[in-house]
Amino acid sequence: MRKLRLIYKADETYLKTSFPAYYYGSPDNKIYIVYSAPYLTPGGKSGIEFIIAKHEEFLYNYMEDRIIEIATQKTPLLNSFIDKSGLKVTNIKSYKSCKSYEDAKELLSKWVGHESGNDSTKNTTKPINLQAD
């Protein structure tokens, strides 16, 4: 069974939150981000929601454990380069009932398995053919 890999944790991030962001490399060769942000209900109650987003500027070669910039097809010098000013992400889901980053990671893992059409007993790795730099 292939699992998400934590490839970077940003304690201070360029995302619109003051909470940490966790970047995961996925067996589907994408980079997903789990972060949290406060929310306020129309009734005035507040809470924290956990958001799952997909990185639009980088891919993750799961087999080689390597981040790849889509525009240049090169590996950044540091994993921290994936959290940058002007970060392009697509928010996929948000969970107001989630209680922790670990719970959000588990939800992401289930979502990735569902989206790839594979259950957790199958090898979900689909290698991507990119030239090494």
Find out whether 123 and 2 touch, Cβ atoms under 8 Å.
yes
Across the range 93-117, mean pLDDT stands at 88
CA distance 92 to 94: 7
Question: pLDDT exceeding 90 applies to what percent of the chain?
Answer: 69
Position 58: which residue type? F
pLDDT (0 to 100) of residue 117: 64
Beta partners for residue 36, in sequence order: 50
CA distance 63 to 93: 26
CA distance 73 to 124: 22
List the domain boundaries for the chain: 5-103+110-115
Neighbours of 58 (CB within 10 A): 23
pLDDT digits (tens, 9 = 90+) for 3-19: 999 999 999 999 989 99
- Report pTM: 0.82
Strand extents, DSSP E, 11-129 = 21-25, 30-40, 46-61, 66-69, 89-95
HSE, CB side, 13 Å, CA atoms: give it for residue 70.
Answer: 10
The single residue listed with the structure tokens 């989206």 is 115
